[in-house]
Amino acid sequence: MKKALLLVLVVLFLVSPLFAGGQKDSSNTVVVATDATWPPMEMVNANKEIVGFDIDFMKAVADAAGFKVEFKNTAWDGIFAGLGNNEYDAVISSVTITDERKKTMDFSIPYINAGQVLIVPASDNSSKTLADLKGKDVGAQIGTTGAFAIKDADGVNLKTYDEIGLAVEDLTNGRIAGVVCDSPIAADYVLQNDNYKGSLKIVGTPFTEEYYGVAVKKGNKKVLDLVNKGIQAVIDSGKAKELEDKWLR
């Protein structure tokens, strides 16, 4: 009986560190959702990997703050509901910080300014602002600040899309008169994408001043403090500027 008891104690002694270690690793991992359909901010490359500015930025934040990060590709239309249901710990997905969103979630300090811009066909020499497209259809991704801007524009018809790429495709094919989206996204389609380069253009300058932030569930101070610590370190070190030059210039 004593030998059996001794054997049980030895097994527990050997196994318990494994469980403790696993628990520690789990608690040190922040699961982050992203809708990987917004190049160059977040996208899936040819190797099925999630890449982009936000991804590199969040990895740098994790390194600076001393936690591990795991990304979860999540459709935009349910991304905030998933955050509220504890399906992940945070969202980094070109999320603009707004007063309306602050009512249901908490935000990190801002990490980049990305105002809304208007994309029109390269042949359109008369449209400089949204007001110039009165009576016409203008596209944006559903639930974004671009869609809100079009909705607020007097006489402009909003057409929403599940992905911004679908709006750009419709614009290229003449089905809509313009597209409104964040300036980094617009730059990727207009300046870097071979499918649209030369056929589209960005008119004017950003007509909003908007800041992206990392969203966490309301009241999740532990994750928020970790993320803020990392963001500040990445900005102060100059790493954020390096990533902007890599992905957005």
pLDDT tens for each residue of 208-230: 888 999 999 999 999 999 999 99
Percentage of the chain exceeding pLDDT 90: 74
Tell me, yes or no, whether 120 and 85 share the same domain: no
- What does the pLDDT read at residue 5? 39
Instruction: Dump pLDDT digits (tens) for 93-105.
Output: 999 999 999 999 9
My answer on whether 89 and 142 are in the same domain is no
Check whether 26 has a pLDDT greater than 70.
no
Tell me what the pLDDT averaged over the chain comes to. Answer: 89
- Structure tokens, 236: 């102060």
Q: Is the pLDDT of residue 10 over 50?
A: no
What's the total number of domains in the chain? 2
Do the domain assignments include residue 13?
no
Amino acid 74 reads T
The answer to whether residue 2 sits within a structural domain is no
CA 4 – CA 176 distance, rounded (Å): 78
**More confident site: 78 or 38:** 78
Reduce the DSSP state of residue 179 to 3 states and report it. strand
In a domain, 58, yes or no: yes
Q: What range defines the domain where residue 241 resides?
A: 23-113+211-247
- Of 10-19, 175-184, 238-247, the least confident: 10-19
Looking up tokens 């210039």 gives 249
Residue 5 within any structural domain of the chain: no
Of the chain, the end-to-end C-alpha distance in Å amounts to 73
For residue 17, whether the previous peptide bond is cis, meaning omega lies within 30 degrees of 0, is no
In a domain, 242, yes or no: yes
Q: Does the pLDDT value for residue 72 go beyond 70?
A: yes
Lowest mean pLDDT of 24-28, 46-50, 88-92, 187-191, name the range.
Answer: 24-28
- Per-residue pLDDT band for 112 (boundaries 50, 70, 90) equals very high
Query: Does 161 fall in a domain?
Result: yes
Q: Which range is least confidently modeled, 16-20, 94-98, 147-151, 162-166?
A: 16-20
Give the CATH number, domain containing residue 120. Answer: 3.40.190.10
- What pLDDT is recorded for position 25? 46
Give domain status of residue 49, yes or no. Answer: yes
Both 76 and 188 in one domain: the answer is no
Both 199 and 124 in a single domain? Answer: yes
At CA 84, angle to CA 83 and CA 87, rounded to 5?
50
